[in-house]
């Protein structure tokens, strides 16, 4: 039987950090190795832009506008099956069912808080391995926390993902699909949501795939999420922060800071040895100047390590001249270790010192601590 022309999707790429040689201090398991992707021999259409879909349908001998129709069904209406695309001819729907699919992720685990306001979903990726995404809700907003890599090479001491070691980069389609799947869980009548690239992995190490995914997610002909509702979080890869700014990308930037001196930060985050604070702050200033957007600094509070008033004073000296917001995150447990969450009194004392001295300060108690869905807790737990 003759098969239709095929467009080969990008292969998942293994990590490459030639320009930022930061050695992970954990050993990657075989289960974290790179894979070649694939979905039972069928091409995945989810994650392709509308222009790409139009080119594909032209190659199939169909009118290009059929690609736009399929894009509208997937991205605007959330269709997960070609049979629901009722404005396509029946013969074309049958052809699509035979040769193409919508998505490649398979749900393998789910944990929810009793009120269902926080839900952690584990997806199996092609080739094996679990990545986790988190759905978070409050009365006023819904937020999807997406993963960009399976595992992480940067070995931050307080992060469960960093203990996994190297895995592989997710493709743009795999990143888009996480948002696509979580959007299907929004309550009736709700369509607005935020996206934060704060799940497993370092988004700016998987730069091209993350930017491609977020470009599609924010495209009016894609999932139409306003750029101001999308945040990219980074451990502090200075060259990529500059690159984001120079490309004119308007997504919000969050930087994991966690300490205000190089000596202290290097103990918590080995990446600081490659990109120390002076270089990192220079890149952040460039980003602020080029984009006109303030930066968010994430600061995990660790008892007796970085939570004193003296630490707060050093933090003020470091960032007070920048248009910024500081998110203080009381430490979330990830198993045996030396780190502890400070007492409520120490947390409040730290925050009160900052509040009159920096533009904005929030104490962010993470949702989903009890189900392992909070900041620093994601690690593909079904693999353990």
Residue 351 pLDDT:
97
pLDDT tens digit sequence for 280-318: 999 999 999 999 999 999 999 999 999 999 999 999 999
Residue 30 pLDDT:
29
Count the Cβ atoms, other than its own, within 10 Å of residue 168: 26
> Nearest CA to 233 among 375, 354, 366?
375
Determine whether 326 is exposed, middle or buried from the number of CB atoms within 10 Å of its CB (0-12, 13-18, 19+): buried
Catalytic: 375? Answer: yes
Residue 151 pLDDT:
86
Residue 377 pLDDT:
52
Identified catalytic residue from 152, 156, 324, 375: 375
Compute the chain's Rg from CA coordinates. 21
Residue 33 pLDDT:
32
CATH number of 106-383: 3.20.20.70
Evaluated on CA atoms 185, 186, 189, 195, the torsion sign reads negative
Which one of 1.10.150.530, 1.10.540.10, 3.40.190.10, 3.40.50.300 gives the CATH number of domain 37-101? 1.10.150.530
DSSP 271: G
Residue 333 pLDDT:
80
Ranges of residues in the chain whose predicted pLDDT is under 50: 1-39, 382-384
Catalytic: 132? Answer: yes
Model's pTM, two decimal places? 0.87
| Location of structure tokens 């966690």 | 258
Cα(70)–Cα(339) distance, integer angstroms:
49
Q: In angstroms, what CA-CA distances link 367 with 110, 149, 187, 277?
A: 15, 22, 18, 29
Identified catalytic residue from 132, 174, 177, 298: 132
Q: Domain ranges in the chain?
A: 37-101, 106-383
Cα(335)–Cα(15) distance, integer angstroms:
26
DSSP 39: B
Residue 152 pLDDT:
87
pLDDT tens digit sequence for 25-36: 222 232 333 333
């Amino acid at each position: 039987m003759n098969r239709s022309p095929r467009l080969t999707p990008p292969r998942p790429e293994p990590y490459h950090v030639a320009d930022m040689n930061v050695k992970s201090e954990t050993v990657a398991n075989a289960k974290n190795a790179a894979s070649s992707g694939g979905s039972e021999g069928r091409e995945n259409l989810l994650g392709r832009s509308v222009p790409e879909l139009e080119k594909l349908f032209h190659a199939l001998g169909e009118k290009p506008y059929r690609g736009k129709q399929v894009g509208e069904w997937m991205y605007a209406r959330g269709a997960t099956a070609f049979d629901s695309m009722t404005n396509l001819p029946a013969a074309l729907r049958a052809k699509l069912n035979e040769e193409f699919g919508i998505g490649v992720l398979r749900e393998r685990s789910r944990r929810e808080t009793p009120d269902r306001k926080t839900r952690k979903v584990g997806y199996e990726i092609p080739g094996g391995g679990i990545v986790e995404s988190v759905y978070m809700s409050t009365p006023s907003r819904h937020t999807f926390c997406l993963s960009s890599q399976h595992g992480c090479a940067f070995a931050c001491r307080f992060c469960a993902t960093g203990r996994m070691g190297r895995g592989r980069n997710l493709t743009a389609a795999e990143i888009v699909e996480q948002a696509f799947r979580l959007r299907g869980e929004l309550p009736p009548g709700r369509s607005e949501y935020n996206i934060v690239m704060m799940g497993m992995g370092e988004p700016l190490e998987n730069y091209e795939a993350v930017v491609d995914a977020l470009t599609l997610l924010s495209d009016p002909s894609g999932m139409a999420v306003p750029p101001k509702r999308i945040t990219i979080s980074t451990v502090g890869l200075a060259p990529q922060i500059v690159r984001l700014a120079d490309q004119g990308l308007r997504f919000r930037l969050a930087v994991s800071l966690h300490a205000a001196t190089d000596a202290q930060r290097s103990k918590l985050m080995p990446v600081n040895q490659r990109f120390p604070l002076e270089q990192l702050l220079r890149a952040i200033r460039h980003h602020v100047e080029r984009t006109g957007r303030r930066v968010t600094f994430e600061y995990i509070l660790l008892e007796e390590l970085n939570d004193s008033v003296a630490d707060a004073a050093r933090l003020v000296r470091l960032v007070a001249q920048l248009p910024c917001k500081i998110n203080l995150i009381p430490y979330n447990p990830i198993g045996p270790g030396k780190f502890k969450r400070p007492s409520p009194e120490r947390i409040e004392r730290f925050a009160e010192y900052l509040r009159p001295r920096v533009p904005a300060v929030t104490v962010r108690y993470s949702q989903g601590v009890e189900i392992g869905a909070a900041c620093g807790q994601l690690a593909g737990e079904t693999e353990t």
